[in-house]
Amino acid sequence: MVLYGKFFFPLLETVILLLLLLREGRSCVRYKCGLLNTIQDVLKQRPNWVEVKDDGEWDFNWCDVGWLRENFDHSYLDEHVRINHFRNHYELSRKNLMVKNLKRYQKNLEKEVGREEASKCDFFPCTFVLPSEYHLFVEEFNRNPGSIWIMKPVAKSQGKGIFLFRKLKDIIDWKKESSHSEEQKDAAPVENYVAQRYIENPYLINGRKFDLRVYVLVTSYVPLKAWLYRDGFARFSGTRFSLSTIDDKYMHLTNVSVQKTAPNYNHEKGCKWQMQQLRRYLTAKHGRELIEILFKQMDNIFIRSLQSVQKVIINDKHCFELYGYDILLDEKLKPWLIEVNASPSNSPSSREDYEMKFRLLEDTLNVVDMEGRLTGKEKRVGGYDLMWNNGPVYREDIYLQTFGSSCFTANTYLGCLNDREKQLRHLFKPFPFQKRT
């Protein structure tokens, strides 16, 4: 009986695994990857994952948006295949479309539910798309003389093409160029920009401005299923903040791609704090209750922004999306949504940054679950916590007396302890190759 108990069940697991693999006609996960950064390292160390080159058949593709644009509509995807972008991901990640969708969503909420509910979408700065909304922008600009605005090209990242301005004449040349371009039939149209009211009172630490990079994984839009990662980081400016000058990009732009070109940039220390470090700092300074409210407000941003594009994103069971949210805090600890990235950088700026992104990407693959190890009922996988599953997901450690009331706590742990390795061992230990339900 001892031998039976000791050897029979491991043997049974092995037999079932082999049957599953035979049924699916493959003994490994064949992957394709178009990027040469941390994701390559993660994929290469994945057990039983094999890279395919050129036109070889694949089961999993971590592609760039260029490949997606050229190939997705012309590709037949088997049931089990997964790819890391939704077809029109740009509805949330392109600056002009994000604002358009948020404004429409807010307007519909006000019409259908009321102003109080619509006010919960008041988390993005006043924004206009130029040149199409130029006249509306001028009216708003004139209503707030002396305010600072920031111009951003709608489809660029890493701080490219961004500038601040206080006077309308600072963009007159840009407007003339756009008008001239529209008059010429053969000329390429001028690049679209968004003009956004600059947050003039950012929360500062040691006199420096920073923003937050938070990771949200969406595995379905219909129904909406979203996971929030516990880790993330704050990106700091290397120059003390001041409104006396608006031309210093190292002072006003926190993008690492910008900061690392600064003369005084320290490549060993970098310009980041891990999210846990930031949450500890804020809690020590302002108290736990106030910071809990802040992080709940950020949860609201993640869910509302995803809901704003839920009806326009082309949902596909083969697709998932890892979003990088950029959040700015003002001096009153109000979080503002600056932008959402559908291809957040996986290139590390330090060893600590590499390790964090490695864990993030590894857990992303754990959630996507090409191996079929999950049941589909999990509320946590590694560093990810399920925050929305066709409705809010609540923590399991809620006190019983809160049931039946409105005191449910969201299942989010941003900036909290990320004991992912312990959780993964517990998750996969009982039966490491469960059949997916």
Q: Name the average pLDDT for the chain.
A: 86
Q: Among the listed ranges 203-207, 264-268, 433-437, which one has the minimum average pLDDT value?
A: 433-437
Closest CA to 254 of 322, 194, 329, 196: 329
| Residue 420 and residue 361 in contact, taking contact as beta carbons nearer than 8 Å | no
From the CB of residue 38, how many other CB atoms can be counted at a distance below 10 Å?
Answer: 21
| Residue 110 and residue 104 in contact, taking contact as beta carbons nearer than 8 Å | no
In Å, what is the CA distance from 322 to each residue of 90, 357, 367? 13, 12, 11
359, pLDDT greater than 60: yes
CA atoms within 13 A on the CB side of 362: 18
In this prediction, residue 158 carries a pLDDT of 64
Determine whether 333 is exposed, middle or buried from the number of CB atoms within 10 Å of its CB (0-12, 13-18, 19+): middle
Alpha-carbon Rg for the chain, nearest whole angstrom, is 24
Q: Among the listed ranges 11-20, 107-116, 296-305, 400-409, which one has the minimum average pLDDT value?
A: 11-20
Confidence of residue 385 (pLDDT cuts 50, 70, 90): very high
Select the more confidently predicted residue: 166 or 259.
166
4, pLDDT greater than 50: no
In this prediction, residue 25 carries a pLDDT of 44
| Residue 303 and residue 226 in contact, taking contact as beta carbons nearer than 8 Å | yes
In this prediction, residue 253 carries a pLDDT of 82
pTM of the model as a whole: 0.88
Which tens digits make up the pLDDT trace of 292-315? 999 999 999 999 999 999 999 999
- Joined together, the tokens standing for residue 236 give 């700091």
Determine whether 91 is exposed, middle or buried from the number of CB atoms within 10 Å of its CB (0-12, 13-18, 19+): buried
Confidence of residue 6 (pLDDT cuts 50, 70, 90): very low
Q: For 303-395, where are the E strands, in sequence order?
A: 321-329, 335-341, 380-381, 384-389
Closest CA to 243 of 194, 196, 209: 209
Closest CA to 382 of 323, 428, 318: 428
| Residue 254 and residue 205 in contact, taking contact as beta carbons nearer than 8 Å | no
In Å, what is the CA distance from 119 to each residue of 124, 292, 308, 332, 344? 11, 20, 14, 17, 29
SS3 at position 135: helix
Cβ burial 152-188 (10 Å sphere, 16+ → b, else e) = bebeebebeebbbbeeeeebeebeeebeeeeeeeeee
306, containing H or E segment = helix 288-309
> Rounded distance, CA 30 to CA 288, Å?
46
| Residue 145 and residue 197 in contact, taking contact as beta carbons nearer than 8 Å | no
Give me the domains of the chain, ranges plus CATH numbers. 28-124+209-236+268-437 (3.30.470.20), 126-198 (3.30.1490.20)
- Joined together, the tokens standing for residue 237 give 């400016």
